[in-house]
Amino acid sequence: MKLYFVRHGETSWNKLHKVQGRADIPLNDYGKYLAKKTAEGLKNKKIDLAYTSPLVRAKETAKIVLGDRKIPLIEEPLIQEMSFGISEGICFKGERKEPGGDEFNKFFIDTVNYKIPEGGESVPELLNRVGRFLQKLYQNEELKDKSILISTHGAALKAMLNCIRGIDSVDQFWGDGVPKNCSVTEVNVENGKPTIVSEGKIYY
């Protein structure tokens, strides 16, 4: 099994440093451009089916990357973005930073001391959720020889890569940072064991 993980293209909220989470924000024009460049980069890759987060920015990215391929595109709630509850929509950095922005920014710079907003998800909950998705893939005998695109989000993607690496500690969650928009990570799975082949490749 070969997996191609891609983070969605840019949205207006990405550009404004607004907390996105489950807020259903579409790609902006630049985000569509990034997805098109990624589609060009992957055009010669064999892809048999694709999973996408149900959120529109991930679905749009998947559809652009897949182009004219006539393959199944499956919506999978387990790989949607982490929920940030009542913090969604606030600007957490930059000139437009809003009240609560500094506290939320701990999610990125001091994850251990990040306080889960009301209605939000914890890092362990996220790891458990995406881990269930990965195990479901690995154990599906019908998919063992397939090449699969997985269109998802920054925190959800990082969580999946941590699951692959066996990292479950909150303080090590971000490692080398947030995956870039439309970055592609390739993973091989043999006998249910995943190996990262390349990480964070960009085609723009």
Q: Is 142 a catalytic residue?
A: no
Can 81 be counted among the known catalytic residues? yes
Q: Decide the pairing of beta strands 147-152 and 2-7.
A: parallel
The burial of 28, by beta-carbon neighbours within 10 Å (0-12 exposed, 13-18 middle, 19 or more buried), is given as: middle
Residue carrying the six token digits 């996220």: 126
- Could you tell me the two tokens for 162? 């941590």
The alpha carbon torsion through 43, 44, 49, 51 (nearest 10 deg) reads -50
**Nearest to 129, CA basis, from 109, 155, 105, 94:** 155
Q: Of 60, 76, 81, 88, which residue is the catalytic one?
A: 81
Contact 16, 168 (CB under 8 A): no
Query: Which sign does the torsion angle of CA 178, 179, 185, 189 carry?
Result: positive
What residues act catalytically? Answer: 8, 81
